[in-house]
Amino acid sequence: MTPEVTGPYRKSSYSLQEGNCVEIAPTTIGGHSIRDSKEKHGPHLTFTRGAWQAFLLGVRQGEFDR
């Protein structure tokens, strides 16, 4: 079963209006769907709740810092 988006896509309040952003929305599996704000009808990535939480933890811990 493919999870469906259950709420509106939103982007960070830090994003500029040029549209070079990613947007997230909650899904029926408790995870999140991610898409490019310039390609609203294009492909998107869907993450389970656990995968999304692991990603956020990595961000907070600097795992993706250069």
Distance between CA atoms of 48 and 12, rounded to whole angstroms? 20
Distance between CA atoms of 63 and 3, rounded to whole angstroms? 28
- Is 4 within a domain? yes
pTM higher than 0.85, yes or no? no
- Is 53 within a domain? yes
Other beta carbons within 10 Å of 9:
17
- Is 66 within a domain? no
Binning pLDDT at 50, 70 and 90, where does residue 64 land? very high
Domains identified in the chain, total number: 1
Dihedral angle, C-alpha 44, 51, 30, 65, nearest 10 °? -70
pLDDT at 3 over 90: no
Give the tens place of pLDDT for each residue, 9-55. 999 888 877 778 899 999 998 999 999 988 889 999 999 999 999 99
Rounded to the nearest 5 degrees, what angle is found at the Cα of 23, between the Cα atoms of 19 and 24?
175
Q: Which domain holds residue 10?
A: 1-59
Other beta carbons within 10 Å of 16:
9
